[in-house]
Structure formats: structure tokens, C-alpha cells
Structure 1
Amino acid sequence: MIKKLILVFIFVLALGMALVFYAKEQVKGYLLQPMQLSSEQLVTVEHGKTLRSALWSMEKQGWIEGNRFSRLLPHLYPEVVHIRAGTYQVKPGETLQQVLTTMVSGEEHQFSLTFIEGSQFKEWRTQFAQAPQLKQQTATMTEAEIAKAIGAGHDKLEGLLLAETYHYTAGMSDLDILKRAHKALTRELDKAWQTKQTHLPLKTPYQALILASIIEKETAIESERTRIASVFVNRLNKGMRLQTDPTVIYGLGDSYDGDIRKKDLSTPTPYNTYVINGLPPTPIAMPGVESIQAALNPEQSRYLYFVASGDGGHVFSRSLAEHNRAVQNYLRKLRASKKH
């Protein structure tokens, strides 16, 4: 009798162990199944959402196959239970375990917004409006209200934001990014101001930004920036007007149709440097770090003029006569290119 009981006990124990082993293998297989996706997808875990509801949601979308043993997951794999709220990127071929591990770590998907050097604030607003999963906190605010909210110290934000790539997670706001962009610009401007040349015709860091924005719009060639800066600095030191087309274009605003006409050069606006003396009242674009550094450390030269070379760069001149010859040469190249 005792032997029978022992045999029954051993059988039951063996059966139990076999069932436990089978259940573990089933759960393991459930966790190791690859996500059935054809492309990357975003999944959002809302606050208060449980592991069970997250799994059910993925099963419903056909990303994973259900398994009746999945209810044992919290008991057998407690390390994947406490998922955090957030938006996560799920990639094809990732296992369910990898996805849950990411959710437990709270490593949310990073969206990115890239602003190019020389862009204007109105373009930033357009990009914000089109950015996925970004809270539109400034959509109904005026530029002056936004400037006050980020502590810019000026009503216009042109030039006061550093153009680069900014990363954000779902639920962050455009105001968050603007604060970071202004802080980054201030940091770079302060750094450059500390190493500026002496005897520059720039009394404040803001004036340096204005000049840097003009340099940014005049050339995309890095090697030319300090030379173009020298032209503007030389003209300012001599009391000559800057006479730079990008400022005219900025002053025309929405009326600019792609061409600058002779009358535009003589039409007074606060930004028309063919009419006004000195710098315009604000920057005309978002300058990059290189243009800021060029404005504060220009090349030592006697150049007072420059014009497009027709080959992508510029020709620099010390006198008006030299400049006029360079202009005529450029016009000849332009006419020749139109014939072909």
C-alpha cells in the first residue's frame, strides 16, 4: 500500500513538474515570438494601462499571437510586468520580450525636428504644426508672447534660436523645444562673444546676431564666411551702407515674389540696407554657429564689395571700379548660361 502511494506521489510530482515545464516553455515561446510587422510602428502605453491590456492590444492588431499560458507571464517573468507609460517604437523582427523590456525601461521613441541654418521663425512654426506627437502649445500665441514665454528679451524671435536637430518624446510641446533652442543659441553666442576681436563696430551680442544672420543668408560656403564678414565690418567702420539683398528681401516680407526689382532697392523699410545706415533692427534669419563666429572674428582684409562669381562662390573687391568689373563678368556668365 505504501509503495503504491509512493508511486502515485512520484507520478503526480512528475506530472506536475512536466506541466510546469510545459507551461514555462509555452510562456517562453510566447515571449520569444517575433513581432509580425511589415514596417516600424509606434505603440502608446497610456497611464494606468496594465501589461495584460497592452498584450491584448498587440494581439488585437495582429502583431503577436495569443497564448492561453500568457496569464502566467507575471509569475514566471516578473521583470517584464511593470511597463511604463509612453510611446515606443516597435520594429519588425523584434521579439515580444524585447518590446516589453523597452517598455519597462521607459526608453521612449525619440522623434526629431531639424531646423536648417538660415531658416526663419515662420518656417519653424510650419514645422511645428506638422511634427508628429508634438503638443501644439504655441499655435494660438503671437511671436511676442512666445518670446516672452521663453525669456528671449525681444519681441521677435528671428536669430534667437539655434538651428539644429532637436529630439523629443510624444507629449512634449513646441514651447519645450523653443526654450531649448533659445538656451542653446544664448550659450553659443556668449561663448563667441568672449573671444571676439577688439575694435569691432558691434556694441552688443544682439548686434553680432544681426550681422551673423546676414552672413548666413549671403553664403553657404563655410570658407567664405569670415571674408564676407570682413566686408560688412569694413563698410560699417567706414560708415558705408551694407547694401545687402537678403535684408531687402526680408523687409519685403510676403510681397517678395522671388525677384528683387530696382524699385525694391529704393523702397524704404526698416530692413532695406540700401536705404538705412548701419545694421537692420533685428536678425533676418537663424544664423549657425560658424556665422556667429565669423561675425565676431572676421578675416582681416580691405575688401568693401563682393558679387557672385557665377561658379558658386563670390568675387571680392577693394574698390568700386574692381567691383563693377566683377559685376560685368558675372552678368556675362549669366547671359551665356541662359543661351545654353
Structure 2
Amino acid sequence: MLTSEGSRPDEAGVSRAGLVPDAEPVIDAAVAPAYATWGQRVVAALLDDAMLAGVTWLAFGSGYFLPTLTPVLWADADEGWPSDPRILIPLGAVAVLLVLQALTGWTPGKLVVGIRVVREESSAPAGLWTTVARWVLHLLDAVLLIGYLRPLWHRKRQTFADGIVRTVVVQQLPDLPRKQGLAVYSAALVAVVLGLGYCFPIHGGASSAPESVVVCELDGRAPYLTTGEIALDGSVWEDWERRMWTVKATRTAHPGATVTWASDPSVRDVHYRVEIDARPSSEDGEPMISRSWDVGTGGVDDDPSSDGSYTHTRNISPDGDVHVADVELQESDGDLGALGTQVWTDVRLIADGEVLAACGSGMGYDDADQVG
């Protein structure tokens, strides 16, 4: 049988061991813990990776490469590793799990499932360098996933990494007094439940209008423009993602303008054009996104906007026609997210190739009133 520092089988057939043995025990083959099944290993890995995914989302949000204790040869995210000091948060979480496994044989996921990584010859914890080597060598297991499937048929249920560093995964729980054991198991259970909770997002979004607009009064350029104004406005689309009680929101500015002008009745057949240039307010130079709209004459025979990015109406009067053109940049026009929420916008009204009026100013889209 095992010494008091070693392990002994409990009534359920799962052995118990101290969290950090004082010495390497001598194993009696008759009472050695049973090897963990492939299913137990998979569940434990999923629970540990769920915790790492939750930590990564809390640090950065969605769309980044997720750290794992079971590496694979492909990435699940589009954006890769962020170049941000906060990358130390998920990497630190990986380090904590590796150290726990190195010193005790358990991670929260493995403890909840009731399995432990130990040295093959002594059933002692594997130690830091062996644990790190085993983690790196899991890349060999990831080749066609053969190594990860190997415990299904191997006598000792070992992956290739286990075989190289001489570790086995056994069914074993900590040998602690009842209250301490319950506290340790409860802490591990809470950690994995939170990790799982942060893996299930709820998405939503809403369109908002900026709280204030910039208005430029226009000088007369008869007959195409006798009076008018350009109001820099647009909208903000806010995407939010809720996981557990945490909500992360991202705002995307859609710069736009409302151009109002009066024209002489003699030029009702003239086609007008509106142009917008947008760039972050913090940057000088060339615009990041540009677009022009042939808004037509504003008559009833004009073709409507195919993408809903503009409207142009004209109220006819004997004394002069009043035009209202609304334009707004769309996702298809460029990377609106790169503009940020402080945007410099230049707007021009053009007729017959001549710029009739222009307005340029910075616009803030940080605070907005929800409109839908």
C-alpha cells in the first residue's frame, strides 16, 4: 500500500493524493490509480481552455488567437496575437495553469474531472520543466490529431508527448481533510463554470445619432445654388457582446452629411453630386475613405440609391426649388472602424463639375443618442 504521502483508493475507485507530496512515493501495482480515459482527458482540456478563452475575451474581446494547454497547428481567429501589453494577461493565465500542473498534477479542469498528470515511474508531480516540455511536445500530438487520439488504444493511455517525457494521466483526487478538499474542489468548479459562462456570447447592436452636428452656411452660386447649408452628421453603429454579466461594446462611426440648398427653377435638369472625404481627426494628409454620390436632379424620375446610402428630394416652387440630400458612408466604402470616433469630414456639393460649396470639420461620435 501507499505511504501517507502517497495515494490510496477511495470507495469510488478514484485514488486520492496530497496536492504536493513531500517525497516520491513507491507505487504498489495492486493499488496504483487507474489511467484516465480519453473522454476524461478531453473534458478536462475543454474546461481548462474555456477558462483561458474567458480570460482572453475579458482582456481583448473577440477575434483573437486563444491560448491553450493543448496546442493545435491552426488558429481559430482572424486577428492573431494583439500587439498590446495586455497580452500578458492570457499568457499569465497559461503560466499559472502550467505551474499548478507542474507542482500538483492538477489544473482546475483536471481537478473537476478527477484526473492528474504524474511521472510514469513514481506518480509524483511532473515538475516545471517536464510540464513545459510536455506542453510544447503536444504540437507533435496535433499532427493530424493522431497523438491526441493515441490514448484511445495505447496501453497506458499516453499521447506522444506523454511517452517522450514519461508522464501518465491517472484518475486521482487530492487527499485532503473533508473541509479543505471541498474548498479546493469548489474553487476549481467555480473557475471552470465561469470559464464556460464566458464562452457563450449574446450579441446585439443599435444605430445612434451624434448629439451635435456641425453646420456650414453656404454662399449663393446662382443659378445652381442660391442659398443653403451643409450639416455634418451621420450615425454610429454600436455592436455589443455580453458574456455573463460583462458587456463589451464597439462603436463604428458612419460619417455623413445633410445638404440643403435652393436653386433657380431654370436649372431643374442639372444633376448634382455630393462628395465626402473622411480621416481620423488625429491624422493630417490624405483622406482614409472617400466616396461620391451622383444624387441626380432630385426629381421623381431619379433612380433610388441601390445601397440606401443617400436620398435626394426636391420641392418645386415658382420662386425656387429646395433640395435636401442626405449621404452617409457605409461599411462597403472602406474600413470605417479605422476612423475611430473622432473623425475629420470634408463634404462638397458639385454641379456640372463645379464645386458649389464645401464644408470641413471634426466630428465626435463618442456620445450618441440611440435611434434604433
TM-score normalized with structure 1 length? 0.25
The structure with the greater share of residues assigned to helix is 1
TM-score normalized with structure 2 length? 0.23
The structure with the greater share of residues assigned to strand is 2
